[in-house]
Structure 1
């Protein structure tokens, strides 16, 4: 019997407002380019995951929308309610697959096989229960998964791992370092680079590390 395939919802803010703690992390690289690269590399990995049937990007940013459509994802504009959790709920309501996952857009080292492993683990868990994957420090959440007929009910934000657990979701704790490595700070970006970055983020890191040419 074939395994169920997933719809994955990935909200992305306007690039000018996204990933504010990363501003200036790469010398000479415009902040919006870095934010777009993180999202693009995340989407590239999700779209390459064999467990995923559709990827739905929720955004009002024209550059993000163009990149997502070009990669093969669907795009929904943000709904009337503001905020990350509202975007996850809006995207989940627009999916067509029965199994739904919400994923953050800042996983530039993500490996498709690790995402597939986490989704399979979610499918094999307790029936009718949401599952989540904590980030590398353990306090945040990178993935929230819901079975058919169960609302996603996202609680992303500060201490989201505790919030998701308090809401009845159960943690998934497999060996998925690239899935758990979200990027909020320059130190996070360095840690992701040690795992191996996707091509767009890697190119920006390489460009920032090249010595500037002298004028002479």
Structure 2
């Protein structure tokens, strides 16, 4: 566990989440919740704490069951990340604060821990296509400065963050489409996501 790392995980209201995830009998809200819970459960052993930023009370209730703190925040991914960052920075002026996407249902704790151990200063992990970002880390005591959105990998590089490139496929595999979900299943889905998608194949 990195005792100096705290993570912010933004979780959209479930009814608005994963609008691109369409497919036969796919339950988008249920999958979005399963993605978030599996992502956070895998992250917890690798860091000191996880703070979820969500305005959805049903998500907050599920997170309480995992012992995870949540706080309602503003709309917008970068806005919610900056909000969570400020909350965590106020608690520890010298920590590393990270932003982790909530749609990594195949995430393995060992992959996240390896990436955290590799990071030196402000850094980010690109997604499997190399254009997006799944994890962004501040330097110790530094600003997070999130720039998520289209082309975020290039934006984070331009802002001085170093790319984290290593053998941790589960950390790079976010899920936006049904094809992404199929590929994530090849890596091995977390238990909640696996249980949610099981009826689709049955």
Return the TM-score normalized by structure 2.
0.94
Residues 88-167 of structure 1: pairs in structure 2 closer than 5 A: 88-95=81-88, 96-97=91-92, 98-122=95-119, 125=120, 129-167=121-159
Q: C-alpha distance in 2, partners of 1:100/1:174?
A: 20
> CA separation in 1, counterparts of 2:27 and 2:163?
36
Give the aligned partner of residue 63 of structure 2.
Answer: 68
User: What is the alpha-carbon distance in structure 2 between the residues aligned to residue 3 and residue 144 of structure 1?
Assistant: 15
Shift of 1:3: 5.5
CA distance in 2, matches of 1:63, 1:175: 35
Deviations 1:127-182 (A, max 9, x none): xx310000000000000001222110000000100010111111010111000000
**Does the alignment pair 1:86 with 2:83?**
no
Aligned pair count reads 198
TM-score normalised over the length of structure 1: 0.88
Taking the aligned partners of 2:140 and 2:85, their CA distance within structure 1 comes to 11
Aligned-partner SS, 1:200: helix
CA distance in 2: counterparts of 1:73 and 1:92, whole angstroms: 16
RMSD: 1.4
Contact 2:2 2:116 in 1 (8 A): no
CA contact (8 A) 1:136 1:181 kept: yes
* Alpha-carbon distance change, 3 to 201 in structure 1, aligned in 2, over 3 angstroms: closer
Q: Which has the larger radius of gyration?
A: 1
Equivalent residue, structure 1, for 2:189: 197
Q: Runs ≥4 in structure 1, deviation > 2 angstroms? A: 2-5, 27-30
CA 1:87/1:3 → structure 2, altered by over 3 Å: closer, same or farther?
A: closer
Between 171-180 and 62-71, the greater mean CA deviation after superposition: 62-71
